[in-house]
């Protein structure tokens, strides 16, 4: 603790000690109340505490950032759904400007000072506002991470991933691993260096795993995937050897686009989306986007000979959208708006898609809708046949086409390879052989081409290492929600069978949605399930469901 | 001409005289080359002229403005076409922020200084760039007009028009003139005061007429409408008394939405829109919007029992879009992008809608498309019957539903009333009686309700006085383009009959589109038609066409 400097002209009756430089080791005009720290501590009458004003400034700053995020999303949505082909250059220009402004505002000196002063005001109890404290905490983390890298690192990384992405697009088409291979090692090297800027005390791969899903690291994923491996690999083998696949020709029956459109709206309503807060758009790859309180949308792709692709895309994306719409409206225009993480987001979409949407109980309401819109196909299908058909488990090469059971194995292959690349146990040249070996081991399949192997996904070409594992968490979280929901007295099967999912939405809303970005995944899991994440629930769920389906 | 101040430390060998304060009556550091004016005039070796750098800064500044305009349009389009109902508050927030930033950037001290310095550099010949000169000229006018009003005037006006608009919405529904009446006088008073800020040397109504269509004033509109009155009023009377209306039941035949959608795309292609640069959206009130070079879109509304409403909406809006797409690509991201005025824009949309789209020659290609998409309705309709049907002229009360012949009379009623309000010959309380009297005189109709009378349009409630007259100019310009096009060797009838409108597009592109905002309407008319605007062409066109149609 220091003393005021001799040249301090501060006229306040300071009752608190402070270090030099913190309050009074500054210019005279800062003593004359431009400064939140000096206030509320027994000043003369007439002084006004600056902390509430700073909180307002902070909200205004967040609004500036929110505007950029919102516009980025609107523009991206426009591009993905309706914009003409030749609109791309102008859109790119506008989006680059928005992203630049977002970074500039987030990392500005003004923003840094504000966060610093608000942190002090909060810690000194001058602001008693739990939401504001959450905003400051989340904002500060966003800011710190946005500022972590030196400019030359950012630029070099942008060049490297642009180049890698362009090479990957061609390489995938040409089944040409060799041209893409060098980028893997270069990107892993860069990511290891970058991890040091984010947190030099941790293993680099742990840093990146945590970036994509807070609280996760290689140790927790190792444990998770080892349980998945022990449960799912033998189950998949048993199905291949002894399981009987159902006849389900109706899955490929032609259902016209206009019929599928109308069915899609009914599915969105069945999930419980407020139709005044959403819309259905059409695009190449289905997605969902939350724009703001009161606006989260679904985009699907219709194949006339694959109705179920659209059905489960719509239910899945509706699950994402309903999460975004369930965030506390008080978080509007702040950094707490939106979903908290990839894993939690996927747990919401997959809860509706799989836990509800592929449950036996839900076949009643689902079949009723299918019969309403496509009676010529579904009047001859019963609930049991539908249940078997939408739960066919069968190893395949392409991750995005995998079923509920084999999906985590695809993720495991990628996780194990990433882990070896970061630990130095493997380099890029080993990837194709590792891919082939693990695909054989876990899925029982040969990999005929790189296009269907290590070149199939876009993630690595964009430098997203550590991202894949979070994809497997969604369903695993779901399996842990179920007993917690039951313990809260919710009749999940009854809700699914009746088609009235309100009790399910209430539980998810109270335990997950409303917190927005205010809580990280581990807190949400612990809060909602009363215990830390545990993959046992997931393994038990898969085992029970698929052994029953395939009578094993 | 002055001398350098005594304290001038400038080391340059200035060969030019200049006034004190202009170059050297400033701080020392400005002499050391932060200043475009001091350059290119015999400096020592190593000095670099700053003018090109300022031109770059100016382009960057325009890009910042362009980004805001683009995002405003994208967001507005999203709102008008696909956004859910509850998206409105967030969209409003984002749009208000964008509009505020646009105003702030346009009127910033930085922008003012830049324009000032570029003007000097241009006038001194240091920059030889005709496009840049146009940009500076148009930008400066935008800036001057954005800064014309004191802040309190802007705020009071915003409050007044918001209130007026809310009252008007209710008043129109309730046929309640009295509640809206006071706003008319208050707005006219405010607009007269505001006109003084824009140009105190001119009559206030002239100032506003010029704002909506550069170069126009009450004298020119008086002349225009007096010609229209002399030609159209007797013609409409003759049709009512002696003209026979055709049988055209097919106009109300039901054509399903999906069929009308497909037809719409064919119509856009027929007009000549590049389908990679446009899209068709669906909305309440048809509109078109140019977003950027390579992106101008059409939005229509489909009524299943009124195919022609959609057909002519699409052709009309496609005309607007093709104009925007025809602007010189070198104008991208500058203030010269986009159409130059309401009147010129309407002249493009109406050229395709009426001059081409309702011509006898065009009935061939149009009927072919109608038969392709709705054969059950149009196989029994011939070209003559179609031509008569799409050219039915019949007085009606509602402007937006008026036909080609009676439309300008609706505008004339509004113009004459606005003129009297601004001159003081009438006040708001006189408006209903004036409306009734003029509607009887020009259209031969009684006005049963204010809802179908002076309350029908939204323009006045938003304070847009002086805007209506520009609506009548579009078709009048068109009539003057036609002989100019013919003089240039273009076979307009041949192009319409063949459905290949390329020659028409070439002429419009060369004479109108490419100039974007770089030329005002009078310059474009003089340049394309070789003479100033002259309504005689329009009156002759209407007279010939409708006397022939109705055999008068």
Q: What is the mean pLDDT of residues A126-138?
A: 95
Write the DSSP assignment of B346-390 as a string of letters.
HHHHHIIIIIITTSTTTHHHHHHHHHHH-HHHHTT--HHHHHHHT
Distance, C-alpha A350 to centroid of its chain:
12
Q: What is the mean pLDDT of residues A139-156?
A: 94
DSSP bridge partners of B295: B292
Note the helical H segments in A199-217.
Answer: 204-212
Q: Give A456-472 pLDDT, tens digit per residue.
A: 999 999 999 999 999 99
- Which site among A74, A321, A334 would you substitute to test the B interface, given the most B Cβ atoms closer than 10 Å to its Cβ? A74
Q: What percent of chain B has pLDDT over 90?
A: 88
Contact criterion met (CB < 8 Å) for A279 and B71: no
Question: To 10 degrees, what angle do helices A204-212 and A468-487 make?
Answer: 50
Q: Give B447-506 pLDDT, tens digit per residue.
A: 999 999 999 999 999 999 999 999 999 999 999 999 999 999 999 999 999 999 999 999
pLDDT exceeds cutoff 90 at B47: no
Sorting pLDDT into bands at 50, 70 and 90, what band is A37? very low
Most distant pair of Cα atoms in chain B: their distance: 92
Which residues contact residue B123 at a Cβ distance below 8 angstroms, ignoring those fewer than 6 apart? none
pLDDT exceeds cutoff 60 at B16: no
Map residue A282 onto helix, strand or coil: strand
Q: What percent of chain A has pLDDT over 90?
A: 88
- Which site among A86, A322, A324, A332 would you substitute to test the B interface, given the most B Cβ atoms closer than 10 Å to its Cβ? A86
State residue B48's pLDDT score: 67
The minimal CB distance from B74 to the residues A78, A85, A277 is found for A78
Q: Give B79-105 pLDDT, tens digit per residue.
A: 999 999 999 999 999 999 999 999 999
Sorting pLDDT into bands at 50, 70 and 90, what band is A46? low
Contact list, A256 vs chain B (CB under 8 Å): none
Residue whose entry in the numeric block shows the structure tokens 């950037």: B105
pLDDT exceeds cutoff 90 at A220: yes
Contact list, A281 vs chain B (CB under 8 Å): 82
Are residues B14 and B2 in contact, defined by beta-carbon separation less than 8 angstroms? no
Are residues B238 and B552 in contact, defined by beta-carbon separation less than 8 angstroms? yes
The minimal CB distance from A279 to the residues B71, B82, B297 is found for B82
Sheet holding B287-292, edge to edge: B280-282, B295-300, B287-292
- Which site among B64, B66, B69, B82 would you substitute to test the A interface, given the most A Cβ atoms closer than 10 Å to its Cβ? B82
Q: How far is it, in rounded angstroms, from Cα B439 to Cα B176?
A: 19
Q: How far is it, in rounded angstroms, from Cα A345 to Cα A147?
A: 26
Q: How far is it, in rounded angstroms, from Cα B545 to Cα B390?
A: 13
- Per residue in B92-102, is it b (16+ CB within 10 Å) or e — as a string? ebbbebbeebb
pTM given for the model: 0.87
**Tokens standing for residue A387:** 């249940």
Q: What is the mean pLDDT of residues A75-94?
A: 93
State residue A163's pLDDT score: 93
- Residue B368, classified by CB atoms within 10 Å of its CB into exposed (0-12), middle (13-18) or buried (19+), is middle
Map residue A210 onto helix, strand or coil: helix
DSSP bridge partners of B297: B289
- Per residue in B408-439, is it b (16+ CB within 10 Å) or e — as a string? bbbbbbbbbbbbbbbeeebebebbbebbbebb
Are residues B197 and B149 in contact, defined by beta-carbon separation less than 8 angstroms? yes
Q: Please give the helix or strand (H or E) that residue A288 lies within, else none.
A: strand A287-292
Contact list, A87 vs chain B (CB under 8 Å): 277, 291-292, 294-295
The minimal CB distance from A281 to the residues B67, B77, B82 is found for B82
Which active-site residues of A does the annotation give?
Answer: 317
Are residues A60 and A53 in contact, defined by beta-carbon separation less than 8 angstroms? no
What is the pairing mode between strands A280-282 and A295-300?
A: parallel
State residue A134's pLDDT score: 97
Q: Looking at the complex, report in whole angstroms how far the Cα of residue A63 sits from the nearest Cα belonging to chain B.
A: 9
- Per residue in A184-197, is it b (16+ CB within 10 Å) or e — as a string? bebbbebbbebbee
Q: How far is it, in rounded angstroms, from Cα B490 to Cα B496?
A: 11
Contact criterion met (CB < 8 Å) for B292 and A64: no
Map residue A291 onto helix, strand or coil: strand
State residue B45's pLDDT score: 54
Contact list, A64 vs chain B (CB under 8 Å): 97
Cβ pairs A/B, distance under 8 A: 115
The minimal CB distance from B276 to the residues A86, A94, A258 is found for A86
**Mean pLDDT of all residues belonging to chain B:** 91
State residue B21's pLDDT score: 31
Q: How far is it, in rounded angstroms, from Cα A20 to Cα B2?
A: 54
User: What phi, psi does B287 have (nearest 5°)?
Assistant: -155, 170
Taking an 8 Å Cβ-Cβ cutoff, which residues of chain B contact chain A?
Answer: 63-64, 67, 70-71, 74-75, 77-78, 81-91, 93-94, 97-98, 258, 274-279, 281, 291-295, 297, 332-333
**Tokens standing for residue A416:** 């194990």
Contact criterion met (CB < 8 Å) for A71 and B98: yes
pLDDT exceeds cutoff 90 at A209: yes
Are residues B312 and B353 in contact, defined by beta-carbon separation less than 8 angstroms? yes
Are residues B341 and B214 in contact, defined by beta-carbon separation less than 8 angstroms? yes
Q: Looking at the complex, report in whole angstroms how far the Cα of residue A297 sits from the nearest Cα belonging to chain B.
A: 8
Sorting pLDDT into bands at 50, 70 and 90, what band is A49? confident
Residue B484: CB atoms within 10 Å: 18
DSSP bridge partners of B61: none
| Residue A136 to residues A52, B52, B212, Cα–Cα distance (Å) | 14, 44, 48
Contact list, A275 vs chain B (CB under 8 Å): 84
- Pick the catalytic residue: B37, B289, B317, B416? B317
Q: What is the mean pLDDT of residues A317-327?
A: 98
Contact criterion met (CB < 8 Å) for A277 and B86: yes
- B164 vs B43, residue with greater confidence: B164
- Which site among B91, B104, B295 would you substitute to test the A interface, given the most A Cβ atoms closer than 10 Å to its Cβ? B295
Q: What is the mean pLDDT of residues B258-266?
A: 97
Taking an 8 Å Cβ-Cβ cutoff, which residues of chain A contact chain B?
Answer: 63-64, 67, 70-71, 74-75, 77-78, 81-91, 93-94, 97-98, 258, 274-279, 281, 291-295, 297, 332-333
Contact criterion met (CB < 8 Å) for A295 and B87: yes
pLDDT exceeds cutoff 60 at A2: no
**Tokens standing for residue B502:** 């390329």
Q: Please give the helix or strand (H or E) that residue B469 lies within, else none.
A: helix B468-487
Contact list, A97 vs chain B (CB under 8 Å): 63-64, 67
The minimal CB distance from A295 to the residues B90, B97, B333 is found for B90
Cα angle value A278/A279/A281 (rounded, 5°): 145
Q: Looking at the complex, report in whole angstroms how far the Cα of residue A294 sits from the nearest Cα belonging to chain B.
A: 5
Q: Give B269-281 pLDDT, tens digit per residue.
A: 999 999 999 999 9
Residue B173: CB atoms within 10 Å: 10
Task: Tell me which residue of A351, A363, A348, A354 sits closest to A496, measured CA to CA.
Answer: A363
Distance, C-alpha B32 to centroid of its chain:
46
User: What phi, psi does B165 have (nearest 5°)?
Assistant: -65, -45
**Mean pLDDT of all residues belonging to chain A:** 91
Report the chain B residue with the minimal C-alpha distance to residue A72.
Answer: B71
Contact list, A295 vs chain B (CB under 8 Å): 83-84, 86-87, 90-91
Contact criterion met (CB < 8 Å) for A74 and B78: yes
Are residues A206 and A218 in contact, defined by beta-carbon separation less than 8 angstroms? yes
Contact list, B326 vs chain A (CB under 8 Å): none
Q: What is the mean pLDDT of residues A66-93?
A: 94
**Tokens standing for residue A462:** 């964009």
Most distant pair of Cα atoms in chain A: their distance: 92
Which residues contact residue B309 at a Cβ distance below 8 angstroms, ignoring those fewer than 6 apart? B301, B303
pLDDT exceeds cutoff 80 at A74: yes
State residue A128's pLDDT score: 87
pLDDT exceeds cutoff 70 at A13: no
State residue A45's pLDDT score: 54
Cα angle value A122/A123/A124 (rounded, 5°): 90
Contact criterion met (CB < 8 Å) for B67 and A275: no
Cα torsion angle, B467, B472, B478, B480, sign: negative
Q: How far is it, in rounded angstroms, from Cα B170 to Cα B174?
A: 6
Sorting pLDDT into bands at 50, 70 and 90, what band is B6? very low
- Lowest average pLDDT, out of B155-169, B395-409, B433-447, goes to B155-169
pLDDT exceeds cutoff 50 at B118: yes
Contact list, B293 vs chain A (CB under 8 Å): 89-90
pLDDT exceeds cutoff 80 at B373: yes
């Amino acid at each position: 603790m220091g003393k005021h400097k001799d040249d301090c002209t501060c006229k306040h009756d300071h009752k608190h000690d402070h270090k030099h430089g913190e309050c009074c080791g500054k210019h005279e005009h800062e003593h004359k109340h431009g400064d939140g720290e000096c206030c509320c501590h027994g000043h003369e009458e007439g002084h006004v505490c600056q902390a509430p004003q700073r909180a307002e400034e902070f909200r205004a700053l967040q609004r500036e950032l929110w505007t950029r995020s919102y516009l980025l999303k609107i523009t991206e949505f426009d591009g993905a759904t309706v914009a003409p082909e030749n609109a791309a250059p102008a859109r790119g220009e506008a989006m680059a400007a928005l992203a630049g402004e977002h970074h500039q505002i987030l990392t500005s000196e003004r923003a840094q000072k504000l966060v610093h002063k608000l942190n002090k005001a909060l810690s000194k109890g001058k602001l008693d506002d739990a939401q504001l404290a959450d905003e400051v905490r989340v904002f500060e983390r966003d800011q710190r991470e946005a500022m972590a890298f030196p400019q030359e690192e950012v630029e070099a990384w942008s060049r490297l991933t642009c180049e890698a992405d362009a090479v990957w697009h061609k390489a995938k088409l040409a089944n040409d691993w060799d041209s893409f291979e060098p980028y893997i090692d270069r990107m892993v090297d860069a990511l290891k260096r970058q991890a040091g800027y984010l947190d030099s005390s941790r293993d680099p791969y742990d840093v990146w795993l945590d970036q994509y899903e807070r609280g996760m690291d290689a140790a927790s994923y190792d444990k998770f995937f080892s349980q998945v491996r022990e449960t799912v690999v033998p189950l998949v083998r048993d199905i291949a050897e002894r399981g009987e696949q159902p006849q389900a020709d109706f899955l490929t029956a032609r259902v016209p686009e206009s019929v599928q459109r109308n069915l899609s709206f009914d599915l969105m309503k069945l999930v419980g989306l407020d139709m005044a807060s959403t819309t259905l758009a059409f695009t190449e790859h289905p997605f969902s986007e939350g724009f703001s309180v009161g606006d989260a949308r679904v985009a699907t792709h219709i194949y006339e000979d694959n109705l179920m692709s659209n059905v489960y895309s719509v239910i899945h994306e509706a699950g994402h959208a309903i999460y975004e719409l369930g965030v506390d409206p008080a978080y509007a225009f702040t950094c707490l708006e939106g979903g908290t993480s990839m894993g939690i987001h996927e747990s919401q979409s997959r809860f509706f898609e799989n836990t509800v949407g592929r449950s036996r109980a839900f076949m009643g309401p689902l079949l009723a809708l299918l019969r309403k819109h496509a009676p010529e196909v579904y009047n001859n299908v019963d609930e049991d046949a539908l249940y078997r058909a939408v739960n066919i488990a069968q190893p395949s090469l392409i991750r995005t086409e995998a079923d509920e059971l084999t999906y985590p194995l695809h993720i495991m292959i990628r996780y194990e390879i990433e882990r070896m690349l970061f630990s130095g146990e493997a380099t890029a040249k080993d990837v194709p052989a590792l891919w082939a070996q693990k695909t054989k081991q876990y899925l029982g399949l040969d990999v005929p081409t790189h296009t269907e192997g290590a070149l199939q996904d876009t993630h690595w070409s964009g430098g997203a290492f550590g991202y894949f594992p979070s994809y497997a968490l969604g369903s695993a979280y779901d399996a842990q929600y179920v007993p917690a929901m039951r313990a809260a007295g919710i009749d999940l099967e009854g809700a699914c069978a009746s088609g009235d999912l309100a009790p399910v939405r209430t539980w998810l809303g109270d335990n997950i949605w409303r917190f927005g970005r205010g809580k990280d995944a581990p807190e949400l899991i612990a809060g909602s399930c009363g215990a830390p994440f545990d993959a046992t629930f997931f393994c038990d769920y898969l085992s029970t469901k698929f052994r029953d389906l395939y009578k094993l």
